[in-house]
A = this chain, B = another copy of it.
């Protein structure tokens, strides 16, 4: 008999998981709190974009969607760093032309929903999850008129994001570890419109690192860029301190001189776009009886590694493999899933927090550039022995996040040693690179 699975959340991860499960021959029902985003396209306005990289692409490939989505994504071959004087410096992601992909979140979501629906998924929109009875494997939802309905399933998946309603019910069960931790920075979207064409280099992720904060911009297919300012909530330079139009304008003009002239609506955006907050959530167990959490519901992370969606897609791929290995024994597969996956999602959560400091403080720093240069040389000479951390996370989907974190820490120790040498800025080309590469693999 076909398994009946409920998924809470028709977002990116919920929709992709539905496709995986439908391919396995399951019945899939999706409950989504919001209205059907496909029916409200005209009103959404600006597109928010995400960085799709190898882990996400690998999962999309497994369900036959990667080619379609590559076609609508914009490759970004490196970081374009903008300093305070408006000078730019392109730092390529790799010597072999590696790239990540700027893709519209809503377009990607629509592709996944359409595919899931075409394969037989049943969507219930505007149905808010009010209760999960894990023992009875039952989900209760409420309509906008607050009509309650309870459904029974063979399994329930909480794919309902960082503020998961499914997880909130699990949190009230005994011995459920949970944390939500906000960083001191918020974010605000600032639009960079097209001017008949791209006004900045199209195929790059743009960064304006300013030590305690930063602006980034990702390209959209229409020639515009979506800029995002990551900025402290409180303190000297902060959302709280910029209270007048004049203060905002002069802050933006002094801090981002080269791009602010491309943003005619910057002041309006600053005043009218909401200030988002950034949270890391961790929890365990992910499983109670037949209910399992996945994606942001299990492990919401900050966006600074561009891995939130990629990690969620990788979750789907891993769960699918485990269902295969366990001959579709749901309970066994979800239990192995949480055990196998938890160290990896803890690792990417930490890496994402660490990378914020790297992006805003260090990308423009001389020592940082030297460090990257030496690492790139080791990698070039001994590509199998030394892969830079960013590449392991972003381009090597066969390396687990937890392993990448551990290897990255060892690399950092080695590089800290090297950079502590006097005159390293001039002497580095004569380092024994083979020895350095081998040192990484000493137990």
Interface residues, chain A, with chain B CB atoms under 8 Å away:
163, 171-172, 174-182, 233, 277
Contact = CB atoms under 8 A, between A and B. Distances in A.
Copies in the complex: 2
Given A174-B277, A277-B174, A181 B180 contact: no
A175 B277 CA distance: 7
A41 to B, nearest CB: 28
A286 to B, nearest CB: 15
A177 B174 contact: no
A32 to B, nearest CB: 19
Given A174-B277, A277-B174, A179 B182 contact: no
Contacts of A176: 180, 182
A277 B175 CA distance: 7
A178 B179 contact: yes
Contacts of A178: 178-180
B180 A177 contact: yes
B171 A177 contact: no
| Chain A to chain B: the 3 pairs with minimum beta-carbon distance, closest first | A179-B179, A175-B182, A175-B277
Nearest to A184: B175
Nearest to A282: B179
18 contacts: A163-B172, A171-B180, A174-B277, A175-B182, A175-B233, A175-B277, A176-B180, A176-B182, A177-B179, A177-B180, A177-B181, A177-B182, A178-B178, A178-B179, A178-B180, A179-B179, A179-B180, A179-B181
A421 B175 CA distance: 43
Given A176-B180, A176-B182, A177-B182, 6 more contacts: A163-B172, A174-B277, A175-B233, A179-B179, A179-B180, A179-B181
